[in-house]
Amino acid sequence: MNANLIRTGYSPNIKERRDCSCALFDASAEMISQAENMPVHLGSMPFSVASAIERFPPDTLTPGDAVLLNDPFRGGAHLPDLTLVTPIFVADEVVAYAANRAHHADVGGARAGSVAADSTEIYQEGIRIPPVKLFEGGQVNETAMEMILANVRTPDERRGDLRAQQAANETGRRRFEELVDKYGREQLEAALAEIKDYSERRMRAELASLPDGAFYFEDVLDDDGRGNEDLLIAAEVVVDGDVVTVDFDGTAAQTEGPINAVFAVTASATYYVVRCVTDPDIPPNHGCYRPIDIHAPEGTIVNATPPAAVVGGNLETSQRVTDVVLGAFAEADPDRVLAGCQSTMNNVTFGGTDPRDGTPYAFYETQGGGFGGRDGKDGMDGVHVHMSNTMNTPVEVLETAYPLRVTRYEFREDSGGAGQFRGGLGLRRDIGVHDHRATFSFLAERHRHAPYGLVGGLHGTMGEAYLYHGTDVFDQTDETDGEKLPPKTVRELTSGDLVSIRTPGAGGYGDPTARSPEAVQRDIELGKISLETATAEYGLSASDLPTSTSDEQ
């Protein structure tokens, strides 16, 4: 399913960044299998499927139907994520559902790209779609399609991506019907029930291996872009035998800016963490979620109510929920947990009129950064982390598809936190506007509070963003000679303006003085750290380091 969605996707956001996910559900709307793609999609998708079935019960569906929705308050995550649910029939009876979720590069709203850092209510964030039949009997519901396309800036791209979502679900339908033909419905349904029970047994066994007790951790979001800072997310993780309860009581009330998360997003992040600290090889389905209970007080930034702005809740608050729940589990068993990752998606959006053909465009991408050090291994450099599992937009694709130029793309030296196992490096990516005016929106985190180290490891470097003006800035090399941007901002740019995004590094794991001189020397030679950092953070002078490790590279 997912391969088909990527192959037939129309936008770079799907076919290059792969910002999409697919799953299968049984007749009772319980997830039975998923493609390993976007954690923030997959844990929350069951809520969308349940909402679709509530609106269209099985007896109202026919073969070839497909239900579309994106409403965050009816099982969705944020408006750019469109979910399509297709029933699978055997002998005129629904036996399963194929579903997928794809991030569309624009769904209308106040800002191109529909990731507005300055939104204050959901109505500004794009078209809000309750469950609606987009396909009926295999044919497009042109009335519904026309309504959607009339509210977006790039209708051809949206139509193409929606048809790709339908093709992906049709792949799932065909494959499932082949299983029914091969094994028979009764045997297949018994197998699906056992798959879920098997995952539950394995999850309960893993939870039972953790120490019983109540473990607490808290962290903050930098701000909401509206002057409200240090927004607390608190979590108490209670392990009791083979069950775990995660309670977010004490978390900040929902706020004016767009960093409120709906419950489905918070649940998705929590499920992800529990899988990470137990056994990620447990088949991900409804069964492995049965021993997990989540309490998120209504009206907080982890369970917001309408008409809250929520676009950043899916993107940024989900990452901090992950950090906090991981931090609580680290109190129980630090060997199972990694240090703080960059834990932001660094959402970058450009929109305007393409001077090459006079058509509107909307470019959206997330930026990689540092992955935390962990017991026995350094963190990875310049990757998407936790709730984001996308790829980057290749420079060649970006510059071909959009009137933008990438002038610099590199690792940030010294951005990973020192430790026995070093934190991963952040990235620097400079993007300039070429021959037109554009609106730029930036929605990020970890610009005021650094990713934490663990077990004596040091924190990672915080993120930064700069704006340079002028026709010669495409050759800009100075690190700080520019206007420093806040982590939530919207700016109008002119031709020649350039934005430099510098993403956070990750925290280190373990005492830095326990790191071997050979590993430090190797980091210096690879440009990951400077000699000054080796001296200041690892306690090593030039005379302590081997002369070269180049033969070992």
**CA triple 215-220-226, angle to 5 deg:** 155
- Exposed e or buried b for every residue in 161-192, given b needs 16+ CB within 10 A? bbbbbbbbbbbbbeebeeebeeeeeeebbeeb
Find, among 282, 522, 507, 520, the residue nearest to 374 by Cα.
507
Q: Is 198 exposed, middle or buried (0-12, 13-18, 19+ CB in 10 A)?
A: middle
Count of CA atoms in the C-beta half-sphere (13 A) of 37 = 26
Instruction: Write down the residue that tokens 């009772």 correspond to.
Output: 28
- The C-alpha atoms of residue 38 and residue 40 are separated, in whole angstroms, by 5
Average pLDDT over residues 368-394: 93
Residue 389 sits in the same domain as residue 328: no
Domain end marker among 167, 183, 199: 183
The answer to whether residues 105 and 362 touch, using CB atoms and an 8 Å cutoff, is yes
Segment 116-136, tens digit of pLDDT: 899 999 999 999 999 999 999
The answer to whether residue 523 is domain-embedded is: no
The answer to whether residue 548 is domain-embedded is: no
The answer to whether residue 485 is domain-embedded is: yes
- The C-alpha atoms of residue 85 and residue 66 are separated, in whole angstroms, by 5
Domain end marker among 312, 336, 360: 336
3-state class (DSSP) for residue 202: helix
Model confidence band, residue 552 (pLDDT cutoffs 50, 70, 90): very low
Instruction: Write down the residue that tokens 């180049």 correspond to.
Output: 550
Residue 134 sits in the same domain as residue 16: yes
The answer to whether residue 151 is domain-embedded is: yes
- The C-alpha atoms of residue 449 and residue 522 are separated, in whole angstroms, by 29
Find, among 462, 452, 463, 461, the residue nearest to 509 by Cα.
452
pLDDT of residue 439 exceeding 90, the answer is yes
152's CB contacts (< 8 A; 6+ apart) are 104, 106, 107, 108, 126, 127, 158
pTM for this entry: 0.93
Residue 139 sits in the same domain as residue 216: no
How many structural domains are present in the chain? Answer: 3
Residue 68 sits in the same domain as residue 179: yes
Q: What are the start-end ranges of the H helices in 333-401? A: 395-401
Predicted local distance difference test score (pLDDT) of residue 192: 96
The answer to whether residues 13 and 364 touch, using CB atoms and an 8 Å cutoff, is yes
Instruction: Name the residue with higher pLDDT: 188 or 42.
Output: 188
- The C-alpha atoms of residue 394 and residue 132 are separated, in whole angstroms, by 35
- The C-alpha atoms of residue 23 and residue 69 are separated, in whole angstroms, by 16
Which of 341-345, 367-371, 533-537 is predicted least confidently? Answer: 533-537
- Exposed e or buried b for every residue in 407-438, given b needs 16+ CB within 10 A? beeebbbbbbbbbbbbbbbbbbbbbbbbebeb
Segment 240-294, tens digit of pLDDT: 999 999 999 999 999 999 999 999 999 999 999 999 999 989 999 999 999 999 9
Residue 342 sits in the same domain as residue 455: yes
Model confidence band, residue 391 (pLDDT cutoffs 50, 70, 90): confident
pLDDT of residue 366 exceeding 90, the answer is yes
Residue 177 sits in the same domain as residue 216: no
Beta-ladder partners of 408:
430
Which of 28-32, 290-294, 325-329, 475-479 is predicted least confidently? Answer: 475-479
3-state class (DSSP) for residue 34: strand
Residue 151 sits in the same domain as residue 225: no
Instruction: Write down the residue that tokens 């499920």 correspond to.
Output: 271
Residue 395 sits in the same domain as residue 510: yes
Find, among 83, 10, 54, 63, the residue nearest to 176 by Cα.
63
Residue 161 sits in the same domain as residue 64: yes
501's CB contacts (< 8 A; 6+ apart) are 346, 348, 367, 427, 428, 429, 430, 431, 442, 444, 463, 465
Which of 77-86, 162-171, 470-479 is predicted least confidently? Answer: 470-479
Predicted local distance difference test score (pLDDT) of residue 114: 87
Q: Is 542 exposed, middle or buried (0-12, 13-18, 19+ CB in 10 A)?
A: exposed
Segment 509-543, tens digit of pLDDT: 999 999 999 999 999 999 999 999 999 999 888 88
3-state secondary structure string across 281-333: CCCCCHHHHCCEEEECCCCECCECCCCCCCHHHHHHHHHHHHHHHHHHHHHHC
The whole-chain average pLDDT of the chain stands at 93
The answer to whether residue 522 is domain-embedded is: no
Domain end marker among 336, 356, 381: 336
Residue 329 sits in the same domain as residue 344: no
Predicted local distance difference test score (pLDDT) of residue 66: 98
- The C-alpha atoms of residue 175 and residue 4 are separated, in whole angstroms, by 13
Average pLDDT over residues 346-359: 95
Greatest alpha-carbon span in the chain? 78
What's the chain's length in residues? 553
Predicted local distance difference test score (pLDDT) of residue 503: 98
Segment 11-66, tens digit of pLDDT: 988 988 888 899 999 999 999 999 877 676 666 788 899 999 999 999 999 999 99
Instruction: Name the residue with higher pLDDT: 476 or 214.
Output: 214
The answer to whether residue 194 is domain-embedded is: no
Phi-psi map region of 527: left, alpha, beta (phi>0 left; psi -120 to 50 alpha)? left
Predicted local distance difference test score (pLDDT) of residue 409: 96
The answer to whether residue 479 is domain-embedded is: yes
- The C-alpha atoms of residue 502 and residue 430 are separated, in whole angstroms, by 9
Model confidence band, residue 213 (pLDDT cutoffs 50, 70, 90): very high
Domain limits for position 156: 2-183
pLDDT of residue 553 exceeding 50, the answer is no
- The C-alpha atoms of residue 479 and residue 256 are separated, in whole angstroms, by 33
pLDDT of residue 471 exceeding 70, the answer is no
Segment 136-175, tens digit of pLDDT: 999 999 999 999 999 999 999 999 999 999 999 999 999 9
In the chain, % of residues over pLDDT 90: 85
**Residue 128's Cα: distance from chain center in Å?**
20
Residue 272 sits in the same domain as residue 346: no
DSSP state of 234: E
Predicted local distance difference test score (pLDDT) of residue 19: 85
Segment 417-434, tens digit of pLDDT: 999 999 999 999 999 998
Predicted local distance difference test score (pLDDT) of residue 472: 56
The answer to whether residue 165 is domain-embedded is: yes
Dihedral sign (CA 280, 284, 290, 296): positive
Average pLDDT over residues 194-209: 97
Predicted local distance difference test score (pLDDT) of residue 41: 60
Residue 264 sits in the same domain as residue 289: yes
